[in-house]
Amino acid sequence: MAQQAYMTETDNGGSGPERRGNRLRRLFDRMAGGRRGDPRMWRRGLFVAGCAVLLAVVMLVHSHIPNAIGNLGSLIETFLPWLGLLIPVLLLLALVRKSATALIALILPSLVWLNLFGGQLSDKTATGGDLTVATHNVNAENPDPSGTARDVAASGADVVALEELTASAVPTYEKALASTYRYHSVEGTVGVWSKYPLTGVKAVDLDMGWTRAMRATVTAPSGQVAVYVAHLPSVRVKMEAGFTARQRDRSAEFLGEAIAHEPLKNVVLLGDLNGTMNDRALNAVTSQMRSTQGAAGNGFGFSWPASFPMARIDQIMVRGLKPESSWTLPETGSDHLPIAARVKVATDG
């Protein structure tokens, strides 16, 4: 009986650590072409392994990649989360090549990506908050401004910021939003609509020659909030010049300076910044404010382009306020998605 029991355990491949060890050896045996100890599984796929290490390094030191040539650093940072898509591609190549070295090397970019963006995969939304804000680049060529205005108002936002307004479309937006928002103001190509009184309205100079940013105080039941609305200059990717964003970067410095001198404790920035929170070129703004999506969102909250969102260049950022939830709204007639957030207003004392 003892002999029979011994043989049964052996035939089943052992138990516990021994069984796991047998499975691991069989895996490497298959990768090595069935010949245990074949060193080729370590020599194969070295190029794939090198690509995995390079990917990890790029994601790890992205802030040190210079912008001197075509603003390469900012371009990579704009689409940084998408570099994670290279990991399954490299994994497939490693499996095809039956390379143990490449498989082990892929651990590096996987860990780096999870460290950078793993938090975005969890739902951080909460049910609190006492002020809902929304922002939308409505697109100057929007074929249905009335419908877009109604869609944004349906979000239930207390304060709405609109960017890329044209002089001919402003009356349409005013008429469509009048029943929901009693107070509003437009400066240049940006505007703010509010259910609560607006004071201290003024244009914010972005060093562009025309107005694409403004500031207003919203007196909400929970307290006063300084609301900034901004539409930073667009960026372009050109073969001969790379990622051209000099004017955008300059305007971001002016906007950051204005926010830095804001006397009110509670500040919210709404607008199309034509850049992501990862882009170091927006540091003058992002260094002093929190992203509502990063603090209280669910997922990445990509907002552009509306047909297939690849980056969150539309932002809701706060200082003094506590983000409770953040989300994107359904597609309108614009090439951007509207975004919204609910925040808690901090009170003095």
pLDDT of 211 over the 70 cut: yes
- Return mean pLDDT, the chain: 89
**Which tops the pLDDT comparison, 170 or 27?**
170
Does residue 80 lie in a domain region? yes
The last residue of a domain, from among 121, 140, 157: 121
Residues 165 and 270 in one domain: yes
Band (237; pLDDT cuts 50, 70, 90): low
Percent of the chain with pLDDT over 70: 85
Residues 169 and 302 in one domain: yes
Residues 278 and 150 in one domain: yes
Residues 111 and 139 in one domain: no
Q: Which pTM was predicted?
A: 0.84
Does residue 18 lie in a domain region? yes
Band (205; pLDDT cuts 50, 70, 90): very high
pLDDT of 13 over the 80 cut: no
pLDDT of amino acid 241: 44
Residues 169 and 277 in one domain: yes
Please enumerate in sequence order all residues whose Cβ is within 8 A of that of 285, keeping only pairs 6 or more positions apart, or say none.
Answer: 252, 255, 256, 259, 269, 273, 317
Residues 311 and 268 in one domain: yes
Q: Does the CA dihedral 138-141-142-146 come out positive or negative? A: positive
Count the domains in the chain.
2
Q: pLDDT digits over 31-53, tens only?
A: 555 455 556 667 789 999 999 99
The residue-averaged pLDDT of 179-204 equals 98
The last residue of a domain, from among 121, 146, 169: 121
Question: 70-74, 174-178, 258-262, 322-326: which range is least confident on average?
Answer: 70-74
The residue-averaged pLDDT of 175-195 equals 98
The last residue of a domain, from among 68, 87, 121: 121
Phi and psi at residue 69, to the nearest 5°: -110, 105
| 260 CB neighbour count, 10 Å cutoff | 12
Residues 150 and 13 in one domain: no
Residues 169 and 81 in one domain: no
Q: Which amino acid is at 29?
A: D
Does residue 148 lie in a domain region? yes
**Which tops the pLDDT comparison, 153 or 20?**
153
The residue among 72, 70, 69, 109 whose CA lies nearest residue 87 is 109
Residues 35 and 172 in one domain: no
The residue among 90, 80, 64 whose CA lies nearest residue 113 is 80
Q: Which amino acid is at 265?
A: K
Residues 220 and 272 in one domain: yes
Which range of residues forms the domain containing residue 166?
Answer: 131-344
Residues 20 and 145 in one domain: no
Does residue 126 lie in a domain region? no
Q: pLDDT digits over 78-91, tens only?
A: 999 999 999 999 99
Does residue 6 lie in a domain region? yes
Q: pLDDT digits over 144-169, tens only?
A: 999 999 999 999 999 999 999 999 99
Does residue 237 lie in a domain region? yes
pLDDT of amino acid 29: 59
The CATH number that applies at residue 139 is: 3.60.10.10
Band (8; pLDDT cuts 50, 70, 90): very low
Does residue 349 lie in a domain region? no
Residues 209 and 270 in one domain: yes
